[in-house]
Amino acid sequence: MIAVGEQAPDFTLRNQEGEKVSLSDFRGRKLMLVFYPADFSPVCGDQFSIYQEVRPEIEEKGVELVGISVDSAWAHKAFQEKLGFEFTLLSDFEPKGEVARAYGSYLDQAGIANRTLVLVDEDGKVAWTYESPNPGEFPGANVIFDALA
């Protein structure tokens, strides 16, 4: 797991629209990276539905949510449309899990990212992290609000 105080590794990934998005695009803003295992799993759907409900409150605190998984941009688009999410989903598809590995979230044996939250501050440094004990347990909104308090 990446340590608090470290410079967040830069990346460029495709979003659900197929557009390139880089960490550096968010410089000057706070960003909550939400690593998750896979689109369309019941647990991921529940996690993102809750985050969508509280997204306005998170954004009021000056933080933007961005999801990252090893799924393709097309899968992200379908996942977002099916469940009505309004935040960016990034595809860590190829090379598979490269960004999740850089942040210490990748689970080699499973070939997916764990459920990991990484708060990146305005200067691109890691301000806070959380890692679920296993991919079947997602951090609730309370975990995010505790981090932002």
Q: What would the pLDDT profile of 100-117 be if each residue is shown by its tens digit? A: 999 999 999 999 999 999
Instruction: Collect the ranges in the chain with pLDDT lower than 50.
Output: none
Distance CA 121, CA 115 (A): 20
48 is catalytic: no
Instruction: Single out the catalytic residue among 2, 21, 34, 44.
Output: 44
- What pLDDT shows up at residue 42? 85
- What pLDDT shows up at residue 97? 97
- What pLDDT shows up at residue 5? 98
Closest by CA to 90, choosing from 110, 117, 65, is 65
Query: What domains are defined for the chain?
Result: 12-148 (3.40.30.10)
Q: Can you list the pairs that 86-93 forms with residues at least 24 positions away whose Cβ atoms lie under 8 Å?
A: 86/52, 86/55, 87/51, 87/52, 87/55, 88/15, 88/16, 88/21, 88/64, 89/15, 89/16, 89/39, 90/13, 90/14, 90/15, 90/21, 90/66, 91/13, 91/14, 91/15, 91/16, 92/13, 92/68, 93/14
